[in-house]
Every structure is written in structure tokens, then in C-alpha cells.
Structure 1
């Protein structure tokens, strides 16, 4: 369960790549479903809430799974590891979203957007730059300032008479 997407080369270990991609897609889907259930649809009862979670989370999992399967199939059928495989995976992800939404226009549009984003991601992996750079954690120098209401005064003051 602790596999990462890039642990193995493209065209190998499809199950590990599915687990890695669907872990993030499932988390995003549950987060979006929580917002939907609490603020938009507001279902009454346990069963409608669970069904709504499934309805909202399923497209996230379908898009991630179809991207992994499409990229895996393109890599093995073409015998190459390049940006075209990721573009084909992006188109399959868009087609899955279009099928879920029952809209050809949505499928084609999102397929194009996903294909471009996936190709840029593959280009970043090949050329060694970060598509989404990691967020640096730090204190940003706030630990050097005293924000208390009654700050300690310096001990070297005089009474002003001398």
C-alpha cells in the first residue's frame, strides 16, 4: 500500500501504479464528496449519504484508473516510453470522465486538457524539472520576533536623572 507511481518504470507494475494513483484520487474524491454532502446535496439518512459519497468519488477513481491503464497499454503496445503514452493516457482519462458525465463534449475537452497536462508532466520527468515543486516547510523568521503583549524590557535602562 506504500507504493509510489514512479517506483517502477512505465509499462511495469500496473497494480502498484493503480494503487498509487487511486490513493490520491480516492482522497480527493472523499474530500469533494464531504463538501458536497455537507454543503450542496444534504442527503437525509445514512444510506443516501453513502450513495452520494460513491456517486461523487467514483469519477475521481475512474479518471485515475483509466489514465494508468491507458498509459500502461500505450507503453506496452508502442514499446516506447515517451510523452505520447502520457497523452494517450490523458485522452483515456478524459474519455472516462465524459462517459461518467454522459457528454461527448466533456470527454473530448477534458481528454485534450488531461493529455496536455500529462505530456508536460512526462516532459518534466524526462528533463528533470518539477511540474509541482515541493512546498518548503519553515518558520519564515517568525521565531526571532517577540509577539507578546508585555515584552520583557531591556535591563540596561537608567532613571533619566544622570
Structure 2
């Protein structure tokens, strides 16, 4: 299986940790790039390539670290404990919370961030185990594509009897 087509839950917990770290950090990198682009364009307006790169690294670096810390902690806890339960995910979320508090340089949010991210990880674990759908997929015919102009997206069709205009030349 290719590394680029691998999904996090393709293998059981505790196996293929490097592939799982790649998957989670890939999504964290994309989220960090989006957030950093928003910051650079809307708020910070850095001057020069070095400052712009610094702003991107300010967002991407900690998010990638949080994703890697979650993945490694949850999977290593699975291997050490030998149980596949929510405690592993809570520990992973707590590890990500400590990185979040280091990123914000605030010791006062260390415990709340660890608890909140641990609880979010518990919800994710319960969703995976019980088959909950957190982010439903849209039906393919509901999205607009380059071919959308060929479809009639109106709510009501035109009534020909109400058209009172003519098309032009006499």
C-alpha cells in the first residue's frame, strides 16, 4: 500500500506508526498552511520572504508537532498497555495539549488544553468504535463542478405562457 493512499484506520492501532504519523502530519500541514495564509494575508502582513516564512512556520510547526505527538503517544500507549480503548486517545490528546500550551507560551492553559484535547480524542475514538458519522460526505450530484452550467439549478422551471417579450428583429 502506498504511503500517499494510506488511511489512518487501514491498520489496527499500534501498527504502522510511521505511516500514521505521516497521515496526521499531512493534514496538520494543510491546516497550518491554510491558517498561516489567512494570517499573512489578513493580519500580520510580514515584509520579505524571511518574515513570511517565519509566520508560516509559526503555524505549521506546532500543528505538525501536535499531530505527531498525538499519533505517537496514542499508538505507543496501545503497544505498552495492550488495550485498545479511549485511554490511549486521551493520553494522545493530552500530549497534543501540552504542545499547544508551549506554543502559546502560557502555563495556565496547559491543563485545560490537555483535558479538552483529550476529551476531543475520546469522542473521536468513540465515533470510530461505534460508527458515528461526524463529517458526512456530500452526494456527488450536489456539488458544482466545471460542468455545472449544463444543469438547471433553478427551483422552479420557467412558464412559457408568462413570457411576453419577443426575440428581436421585425
Q: TM-score range by the shorter chain?
A: 0.7 to 0.9
Q: Which residue of 1 aligns with 2:127?
A: 124
Deviations 1:52-73 (A, max 9, x none): 1111211111111110011011
**Partners of 2:153 and 2:22 in 1: how far apart?**
40
Asked if residue 48 in structure 1 is aligned to residue 66 in structure 2, the reply is no
Q: What does 1:9-158 align with in structure 2 at a 5 Å threshold? A: 9-139=12-142, 142=153, 145-146=156-157, 151=158, 153=160
**Partners of 2:103 and 2:36 in 1: how far apart?**
16
**Partners of 1:71 and 1:95 in 2: how far apart?**
14
Deviates more, 1:82-91 or 1:126-135: 126-135
Cα drift, residue 138 of structure 1: 3.8
Is this contact kept in 2: 1:67–1:92, CA < 8 A?
yes
Supply the RMSD in Å over aligned alpha carbons.
Answer: 2.2
Is this contact kept in 2: 1:62–1:97, CA < 8 A?
no
Asked if residue 2 in structure 1 is aligned to residue 5 in structure 2, the reply is yes
**Partners of 2:90 and 2:80 in 1: how far apart?**
14
| Consecutive unaligned residues in structure 1, runs of 5 or more | 155-162
The TM-score, its normalising length taken from structure 1, stands at: 0.84
**Partners of 1:21 and 1:100 in 2: how far apart?**
18
Is this contact kept in 2: 1:14–1:72, CA < 8 A?
yes
Cα drift, residue 18 of structure 1: 0.8
* Count of residue correspondences: 151
**Partners of 2:126 and 2:138 in 1: how far apart?**
21
The TM-score, its normalising length taken from structure 2, stands at: 0.80
**Partners of 2:61 and 2:10 in 1: how far apart?**
25
Distance change >3 Å, CA 53–CA 83, structure 1 → 2: same
